[in-house]
A and B are shown apart, each in its own frame.
Chain A
Amino acid sequence: ETGVTQSPTHLIKTRGQQVTLRCSSQSGHNTVSWYQQALGQGPQFIFQYYREEENGRGNFPPRFSGLQFPNYSSELNVNALELDDSALYLCASSQVPGDYEQYFGPGTRLTVT
């Protein structure tokens, strides 16, 4: 069984740029959620994708957007990067939406300068 994988592991961007982060879900999982974890904080829910549609969104502006592909992998896109976007971005997959177990990948560390 393959776990959740994310790429890249680290990324440095300049304020105002755009970034795309990628996630492959655990085998057998069709739901992907994205979280932002600032240093010293718990993860904060950004949004979830199920069957290629957004299935819930947290308190994040529209410049945070996503996609899910037919193979259940997913992308997180952030436009017009701000310094406060510097964080660990985590992807989690689950078998179905709702309160089922979510399994996290190792994350992508994004630094905005």
Chain B
Amino acid sequence: GENVEQHPSTLSVQEGDSAVIKCTYSDSASNYFPWYKQELGKGPQLIIDIRSNVGEKKDQRIAVTLNKTAKHFSLHITETQPEDSAVYFCAASTGDSTLTFGKGTMLLVSP
């Protein structure tokens, strides 16, 4: 089955800096790659996603890139703010009912 690796497990940045989280996947049939933000005591919130026919997608301060050949995708957050502090999860799907998640990255943005 699909296996998703996520790095780093923790990331500390200063407010205003950029943050990058990277994921690799194993199943070349995966074609949908969402990113979720999970705050303490809450369920994961979908923040951005990308499909395999697209190399990059942006939404304000957030962008995701996908390299199908290398089977990796990344989340980029620019101009980080303290409210960006949370655990971020990447996931992959082959188009069946399953989302396979990475283990998460705890992002801490210091004022």
Interface on A for B, CB 8 Å cutoff? 4, 31, 33, 35, 40-45, 48, 50, 55-56, 58, 90, 92, 97-99, 101-107
Q: Which A residue's beta carbon lies closest to that of B4? A: A42
Asked if B61 CB lies within 8 Å of chain A CBs, one says no
Contact A102 B43 (CB under 8 A): no
Residues on the B chain within 8 Å of A55, using CB: 97
B50 → A minimal CB distance (Å): 11
| Complex-state Cα separation, A55 to B98, whole angstroms | 10
Residues on the B chain within 8 Å of A33, using CB: 97, 99
Contact B32 A103 (CB under 8 A): no
Contact A42 B43 (CB under 8 A): no
Contact A106 B42 (CB under 8 A): yes
| Complex-state Cα separation, A98 to B49, whole angstroms | 14
Asked if B89 CB lies within 8 Å of chain A CBs, one says yes
Contact A56 B44 (CB under 8 A): no
Residues on the A chain within 8 Å of B91, using CB: 42
Known contacts A45-B99, A56-B97: A99-B44 contact under CB 8 Å: no
Q: Which A residue's beta carbon lies closest to that of B41? A: A106
5 contacts between A and B (CB under 8 A): A40-B103, A40-B104, A42-B102, A42-B104, A106-B43
